[in-house]
């Protein structure tokens, strides 16, 4: 029985499904999950509250947040430094900072492709926020990021099932750039793969556009034009992801990888074939 605890501090695009990818139809046996979420907030006070999830005594924990070097996520890691924990975030991207996470005993999957939203009152309202996150999820799901995370979690859960625990667990250490993700997506058609990779590179660029708008720009026209630009790019990336999957559908080559009830991965490509 593998027990996984999920800590959600703030929100990334991947936060929407991070706790669902191990049991997509709620039929998998031999696995338990609990989630502690702090909504959009991710400060030190919220981090302190997450300690309650340790009472679940999970075999490993997953901590997802934007900017894992921020004060809240940093404080949360202090709480979970004595148990197996995988950090999912959009940073740090620098090798030395990632090495510091590994040296401290943490696993990590750093997703540069999980885009920074245009979080400025002058532009963002709840509808725009939801629309952006749905576009982000379309890219992350179709273009390989979701499958990468699913497979890496499966590898750790398999170790638990084999009797390993604590420091004996081998945790992932992955910088999930566009090229890394796309190889997990399972595209058969090269044009579909190219469209999907283009979508991932566009998502990667969105954060670069939104960062100065969120943290440096002051003039309303400059802020709103820049954030709107990044959100238009995210929408275009989502459409490319849709187009890529439509190519695979038209060829009946959509790669699917469901979990069996026992937890092992099954695969199929043809729509009417049974997963094996």
- pLDDT tens digits, residue range 191-207? 999 999 999 999 999 99
218 and 158 within one domain:
no
The residue out of 162, 181, 200 marking a domain boundary is 181
Number of domains in the chain: 2
85 and 22 within one domain:
yes
pLDDT given at position 142: 98
Does residue 267 sit within a domain?
no
135 and 105 within one domain:
no
Contacts of residue 87, defined as CB under 8 A and 6 or more positions apart, other chains included, come to 63, 64, 68, 73, 77, 101, 106, 107, 108, 109, 110
Does residue 273 sit within a domain?
no
99 and 8 within one domain:
yes
Report pLDDT digits (tens) over 27-46: 999 999 999 999 999 999 99
Name the packing angle between helices 190-215 and 126-142 (round to 10°). 150
Report pLDDT digits (tens) over 219-234: 999 999 999 999 999 9
Please state whether the peptide bond connecting residue 92 to the residue before it is cis, i.e. omega within 30 degrees of 0: yes
84 and 205 within one domain:
no
Report pLDDT digits (tens) over 244-271: 999 999 999 999 999 999 999 999 999 9
Neighbouring CB atoms inside 10 A of 272's CB total 6
Closest-CA residue to 161 (of 31, 24, 35): 31
152 and 133 within one domain:
no
Mean pLDDT over all residues of the chain?
97
Tell me the C-alpha distance between 163 and 97, whole Å.
31
Which H/E stretch holds residue 237? helix 220-250
Report pLDDT digits (tens) over 57-89: 999 999 999 999 999 999 999 999 999 999 999
Does residue 84 sit within a domain?
yes
**Do 132 and 207 form a contact (C-beta atoms < 8 A)?**
no
Does residue 150 sit within a domain?
yes
Does residue 261 sit within a domain?
no
Mean local confidence (pLDDT), 120-140: 98
Strands 31-37 and 60-64: unpaired
137 and 148 within one domain:
no
151 and 137 within one domain:
no
Does residue 44 sit within a domain?
yes
Secondary structure (3-state) at 191:
helix
Does residue 268 sit within a domain?
no
User: Based on the number of CB atoms within 10 Å of its own CB, is 33 exposed (0-12), middle (13-18) or buried (19 or more)?
Assistant: middle
Reported as half-sphere exposure (CB side, CA atoms, 13 A), residue 114 has a value of 27
Secondary structure (3-state) at 145:
helix
pLDDT exceeds 90 at position 124: yes
197 and 63 within one domain:
no
Report pLDDT digits (tens) over 167-198: 999 999 999 999 999 999 999 999 999 999 99
The residue out of 181, 210, 228 marking a domain boundary is 181
91 and 154 within one domain:
yes
For residue 70, what is the domain's CATH number? 3.40.50.10830
Tell me the C-alpha distance between 114 and 89, whole Å.
8
228 and 95 within one domain:
no
Q: Structural domain of residue 18, as residue ranges?
A: 2-110+144-181
pLDDT given at position 1: 85
Question: What DSSP state is assigned to residue 259?
Answer: B
Tell me the C-alpha distance between 270 and 6, whole Å.
34
Does residue 69 sit within a domain?
yes
157 and 137 within one domain:
no
pLDDT given at position 27: 94
Closest-CA residue to 40 (of 15, 62, 5, 76): 15
Is the pTM of the predicted complex or chain greater than 0.75? yes
């Amino acid at each position: 029985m593998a027990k996984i605890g999920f800590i959600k501090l703030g929100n990334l695009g991947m936060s929407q499904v991070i706790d669902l990818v191990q049991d997509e139809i709620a039929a998998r046996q031999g696995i338990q999950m609990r989630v502690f979420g702090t909504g959009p907030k991710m400060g030190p006070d919220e981090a302190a509250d997450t300690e309650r999830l340790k009472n679940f005594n999970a075999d490993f924990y997953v901590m997802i947040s934007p900017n894992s070097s921020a004060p809240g996520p940093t404080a949360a890691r202090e709480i979970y430094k004595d148990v197996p924990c995988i950090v999912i975030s959009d940073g740090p991207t620098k090798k030395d900072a990632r090495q510091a996470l590994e040296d401290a005993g943490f696993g990590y999957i750093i997703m540069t492709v999980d885009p920074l939203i245009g979080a400025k009152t002058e532009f963002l309202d709840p509808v725009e926020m939801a629309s952006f996150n749905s576009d982000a999820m379309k890219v992350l799901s179709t273009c390989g990021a979701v499958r990468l995370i699913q497979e890496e979690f499966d590898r750790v859960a398999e170790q638990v099932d084999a009797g390993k625990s604590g420091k004996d667990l081998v945790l992932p250490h992955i910088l999930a750039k566009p090229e890394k993700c796309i190889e997990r997506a399972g595209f058969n058609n090269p044009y579909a793969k190219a469209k999907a990779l283009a979508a991932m590179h566009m998502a990667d660029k969105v954060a670069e556009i939104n960062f100065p708008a969120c943290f440096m720009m002051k003039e309303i026209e400059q802020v709103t034009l820049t954030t709107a630009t990044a959100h238009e790019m995210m929408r275009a990336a989502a459409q490319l992801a849709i187009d890529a999957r439509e190519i695979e559908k038209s060829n009946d080559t959509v790669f699917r990888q469901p979990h069996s009830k026992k937890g092992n991965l099954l695969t199929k490509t043809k729509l009417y074939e049974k997963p094996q």
